[in-house]
Amino acid sequence: MSTALPLHTPSGMTNRLTVLTLPARLSAHMAWLDQSFTAADYHDPARQDAARAELSGRVEGLATVLEQAASAVRDDQAVVLRGLPAQSTAMVVAVASAIGPVVPSRPDRPLIDDIKPDVNAGEQTRIGDLRVALTPHTDNSTMPAPPEILALAFVHNGTPDSGGESTLTHIDDIAAALDDTDVELLQEPRYPSLNVPTDAGRAPTLTSVLARRADGRLTVRYRDAALDAGIASTLAPETPSPAHLSALHRFTTTVREPARQTRARLDTGDMLIIDNARFLHGRTEIAANAVRHLKRLYTRLNPA
């Protein structure tokens, strides 16, 4: 881990975080990449791979760093890549494709989300538009299969005193603080979940908060606003039992404890990459008039 990344880690998450620096010469090839790898190519995994391969041939050391990043993600690490020319969408897609094919979160969504706080927004139209703090959550938690890997590339992240620190919470740290009964209850698909505000008025879907992969590792699917809306909906297929609601309450309380969260001050040119099913992420409040711009995208995970 690099000490160049300002961290607040009461949870000991330093053992789950890998910080890597991209070669300095990467930015010198941005203009070439923008011309040869254009928006028409971004959706094609073969073109993603070809662009990354040629870029790696031009920039000494890039292939090694990207393989280290992919290996760390497979090994259950959160990864921060430093020194990314994130103003170039072509560069963001090419670099992220080292983890796996860059894919939209769902067919009707763009491949890349540009996220900027809207100082004039009267209501929250999508996650990231407002400056309020975001509690730890899973991206696209209401989807049948949420995206595997989340990448956030910072085009600009204000100043050190402007807020917007990223928070990371690993599901194993949360599960270790719960009793076995709660962990079992949270794995049952008894929790109505509703994507708000997009799907307001629709029937919630029943989901579990936790699940186990074939290798025994726990995964998480959690967004408090979606679960609150689903449970409150009169269209919910069923109401969770008092025991299930109590387990969810204890889970939420534990997730929100500052001691369970690592805060990382990510800077312009940083890219955060996490397993969307093993880490919850959020951020602190963004100060008024702070300039913060990031690009959000998702990838599948290449096997080792």
pLDDT digits (tens, 9 = 90+) for 74-83: 999 999 999 9
CA distances from 208 to 3, 114, 167, 235, 284 (A): 37, 30, 23, 18, 27
Q: What is the DSSP letter of 300?
A: P
Tokens (6 digits) for 159: 């100043």
Q: What are the per-10-residue average pLDDT scores of the chain (304 residues)?
A: 54 76 97 97 98 98 98 96 97 98 92 78 46 92 95 91 92 96 98 87 94 96 96 93 98 94 92 98 88 93 88
- d(CA 40, CA 181) in angstroms, rounded, equals 50
Q: Is the previous residue joined to 240 through a cis bond, with omega within 30 degrees of 0?
A: no
What pLDDT score does 256 carry?
95
- The model's pTM is 0.93
- d(CA 137, CA 281) in angstroms, rounded, equals 5
What pLDDT score does 8 carry?
60
Q: Cβ distance 57 to 64 under 8 Å?
A: no
- d(CA 219, CA 60) in angstroms, rounded, equals 37
